[in-house]
Copies of this chain bind each other. A is one copy, B any other.
Amino acid sequence: MASELPALYRLGIVGAGQIARMTHQAAVKLGITPRLFAEESDDSAALAAPDAVYAHPDSLAAFADTCEVLTFEHERLDIGLLRRLEEAGSMIRPGTKTIGAAFDKMHQRRVLLNRSFPVPIFAEVRGPDDLMDFASVFSWPVVLKSVRAGRDGEKGVWIVENENEAMAVISENHDRQLMVENYQPIVKELVVLVVRRPGGNARCYPVIEVIQSDGVYREVRMPASIGHRVAIEARDIATRIANELEAVGVLAVELFLTTDGLVVNELAARPHNAGHPTIEGCPTSQFENHVRAVLDLPLGATWASAPAAVTVNVIGGLDGVDPADYLHEALAVEGVHVHLYGKRPRAGRKLGHVTALGDDMEQARELAHRAEAALQGKRAW
């Protein structure tokens, strides 16, 4: 099918979840129809795109051959294969230098520490002794992390209060490489999205604040309610990391604002779930700017077009409610932008999001939560 399509830019996206769906939409606006490397025929993006390949990870090399530029929406990748493709001349964007740092948290910490970026104190955990040594110096609680990105949406992060809890995590994750970090009370969780072209031209979006519960972003606010100085520092850190890693496309830098200042939490080398408010809240969404950047096209404006933008994620509940059944109720909330991903409902699954712009953060929050409650079949917020 692909050969029939006009293909000035033959862009391939590895992954076909909602990030790919929204990236695909942004590309279509520019006259480009990306190919998707999907897993299942009911993957969110595959439902809305004409050109999806359902394939075994081994066939990624064959898929890459059909694309001029290859980009990614998830981290379930074989970095060794990507390096070989890159060496063979495939245009992998972002490149493996960036992806490697986003995937391997120990490697990432070492790179960032070497360049004097603020990171928590950390150590490798080769066995229980490493952990006990660390805890004896920095005291409990400590943060245990999987070095590689979590499995199946799970974060792979555990805050443990004592030796017993720590040993339980270690034994449950004996097949995974772990690391430990000192625990610092978090004042706010922030995300800075930087988008960067191959030549180094980069732009930052306004700093975003995320509110988690159960390890999932429930609510995202743009701009973050932080002081001007912290915002400048956060954007400066993120931009410098993007340059350091020679990132191409969106690099999402997750930061903790602690009582001791900013520290880098994690990196994601792709459009990010915290970036949904950029769709309606900025002149150019993170998705369109990701497409522009990986195709080395000029970047679009990234400023906030409203004083406040709030996104609330629509997460599948235990009751099995399908938000699509309540689209009517949600659209009745005036001024809210409703996005559904076409997925079958399942507890804990991201099924959509709603964004409200406002002159004031509380006004936007109220609207967004009201629409999300409606999609969950609940009347009031």
A interface residue numbers (CB < 8 A to B): 4-6, 8, 21, 25, 28-33, 41-42, 46-50, 52, 283, 292, 297-298, 300-301, 305, 322-325, 327-328, 331-332, 334-335, 337-342, 344, 352
Q: Which residue of B lies closest to A334 (CB)?
A: B301
Whether the pair B31, A352 counts as a contact (CB closer than 8 A) is yes
Which of B33, B41, B50, B327 is close to A4, meaning CB atoms less than 8 Å apart? B41
In the assembled complex, the Cα of A328 lies from the Cα of B8 at a distance in Å of 12
Could you list some 7 contacts between A and B, CB below 8 A?
A21-B28, A31-B327, A31-B340, A31-B342, A297-B331, A300-B334, A301-B334
Given contact pairs A31-B352, A298-B328, A301-B335, A47 touches B8 in the complex (Cβ within 8 A):
no
Which of B8, B298, B338 is close to A324, meaning CB atoms less than 8 Å apart? B8
Which of B283, B301, B324 is close to A31, meaning CB atoms less than 8 Å apart? B324
This chain: copies in complex:
2
Given contact pairs A6-B342, A298-B332, A301-B334, A48 touches B30 in the complex (Cβ within 8 A):
no
In the complex, what's the smallest C-beta–C-beta distance from A362 to chain B, in angstroms? 19
Q: Which residue of B lies closest to A338 (CB)?
A: B30
Which of B33, B48, B323, B335 is close to A47, meaning CB atoms less than 8 Å apart? B33
In the assembled complex, the Cα of A48 lies from the Cα of B52 at a distance in Å of 11
**What are the residues of chain B within 8 A of A31 when measuring CB–CB?**
323-324, 327, 339-342, 352
Given contact pairs A33-B342, A292-B331, A335-B283, A8 touches B325 in the complex (Cβ within 8 A):
yes
Given A30-B327, A298-B331, 12 extra CB contacts under 8 A: A4-B41, A4-B42, A8-B322, A8-B324, A8-B327, A25-B25, A30-B339, A31-B324, A31-B339, A32-B342, A297-B328, A305-B305
In the assembled complex, the Cα of A323 lies from the Cα of B31 at a distance in Å of 10
In the assembled complex, the Cα of A21 lies from the Cα of B341 at a distance in Å of 18
**What are the residues of chain B within 8 A of A41 when measuring CB–CB?**
4
In the assembled complex, the Cα of A52 lies from the Cα of B4 at a distance in Å of 14
Q: Which residue of B lies closest to A341 (CB)?
A: B31
In the assembled complex, the Cα of A301 lies from the Cα of B336 at a distance in Å of 9
Give the most central of A31, A305, A335: most B CB within 10 Å. Answer: A31
In the assembled complex, the Cα of A359 lies from the Cα of B97 at a distance in Å of 42
In the assembled complex, the Cα of A323 lies from the Cα of B334 at a distance in Å of 37
In the complex, what's the smallest C-beta–C-beta distance from A321 to chain B, in angstroms? 13
Whether the pair B48, A28 counts as a contact (CB closer than 8 A) is yes
Whether the pair A29, B25 counts as a contact (CB closer than 8 A) is yes
